[in-house]
Amino acid sequence: MPRVLISGISGQDGSYLAESLVHEGCEVHGLVRRTSLEVPHVKLTRISPFLDKLTLHPCSLESQTALFEVVREIKPDFLYHLGAQSFVSYEIEQEYATLDTNLGSTHALLSAVMRFAPECRFYFAASSEIFGHAETSPQNESTPFNPRSIYGISKLAGFHICKSFRENEGVFACSGILYNHESPRRGKEYVTRKIISQAVAIHRGQSDVIKLGNLDSERDWGHAKDYVNAMRKITEFDKPDDFVVASGRTHTVREFCQKAFSLLDLTFEDFFEYDPRFFRPTEKTTLCGDASKAKKELGWSPSHDLDSIIEEMMNSELERTASLSN
């Protein structure tokens, strides 16, 4: 059975990926922060149901020596590099930390693979943010990159590092350019989970307001499970390559809210309050992905639409909070 190493295993995507691999009997290793191991009931909740089937390694993405060491020890058949510093801020130190961690970890893992596990298939989690202020829509693998955030720039550099190891060193290195993907495991800082949890709080009488920024913002939203499935198809393909993974449809934040609230027989507009703290003045373009290449070459297509994603997130939130509200 294949030996798989996942950075970012405790996140939304890492947990779905690990779950599917464990289910198939793979030997699954994950990188986690040492501090997460000290409080697993707080930091490792997404992987707690199958924690006993995983081997976790305390290893920070900031430590290139530690990353090198882990790859040397495990010699994985597949390595999914999903972990990244995603904090988007305008403070210089934070921006530099994002660049440093994201570039350094990708470079260290690929160098280690080249040296200690040359047959390993390497996946890099790129992001639609590498298109940034794209001039055309929808975007595909040939669309010029135009990132406008430090996070997007770090992901674009990672994408190119991957490509250079593939073309210059012969490493089986691929990138998935993933658009927004949601699920009940999404963090509360993202707008979809925030809307769902606030709607449930209002439904339970624990709150009477939902404060948001720009309701006209649009996103190309898919389901994390479908996107993790695409990651696996990318690494199992005949040759290493890069793929856009997206639903190809955009919806506004307002539409998401209306759909979510109506599931609870509530009218969103009765509770909405605009809060300028959540407005992003530099956000200009709407990104929409064209996943025809993944469809054609990998046979990938999403199995969830936005309605089914919202319904699943809502049911899960109602279940999760039921015991707390009694």
Task: Report yes or no: 154 and 84 within 8 Å, Cβ to Cβ.
Answer: yes
> Which lies closer to ligand GDP via its Cβ, residue 114 or residue 288?
288
The count of chain residues that interact with ligand GDP, using the rule CB under 6 A, is 15
How far apart CA 286 and CA 138 sit, in angstroms, is 9
How far apart CA 21 and CA 15 sit, in angstroms, is 10
Q: Does 254 bind ligand GDP (CB under 6 A)?
A: no
Q: Which stretch binds ligand GDP (CB under 6 A): 31-39, 54-62, 212-220, 298-306?
A: 212-220
Which 258-297 residues touch ligand GDP, going by CB under 6 A? 278, 280, 283
In Å, what is the CA distance from 114 to each residue of 34, 65, 157, 256?
26, 15, 18, 44
Q: Does 253 bind ligand GDP (CB under 6 A)?
A: yes
48, 73, 144, 190: which one binds ligand GDP (CB under 6 A): 190
Q: How far is the CB of 5 from ligand GDP (least distance, A)?
A: 26
Q: Does 194 bind ligand GDP (CB under 6 A)?
A: yes
Q: What angle do CA 72, 78, 80 make, to 5 degrees?
A: 95
> Which lies closer to ligand GDP via its Cβ, residue 19 or residue 129?
129
3-state DSSP assignment of residue 252: strand
Q: How far is the CB of 313 from ligand GDP (least distance, A)?
A: 12
Q: Does 249 bind ligand GDP (CB under 6 A)?
A: no
Q: Does 219 bind ligand GDP (CB under 6 A)?
A: yes
Give every CB contact of residue 222 below 8 A, 6+ residues apart in sequence. 179, 180, 181, 182, 245, 246, 247, 302, 304, 309
Q: Does 310 bind ligand GDP (CB under 6 A)?
A: no
Task: Report yes or no: 245 and 178 within 8 Å, Cβ to Cβ.
Answer: yes
Task: Report yes or no: 87 and 98 within 8 Å, Cβ to Cβ.
Answer: yes
Q: How far is the CB of 53 from ligand GDP (least distance, A)?
A: 30
Q: Which stretch binds ligand GDP (CB under 6 A): 167-175, 184-192, 265-273, 310-318?
A: 184-192
Amino acid making up residue 74: I
Integer-rounded Cα radius of gyration of the chain = 20
Q: Does 212 bind ligand GDP (CB under 6 A)?
A: yes
Residue 136: half-sphere exposure toward Cβ, Cα within 13 Å:
8
Interface contacts to ligand GDP, rule CB under 6 A: 180, 189-192, 194, 212-214, 217, 219, 253, 278, 280, 283
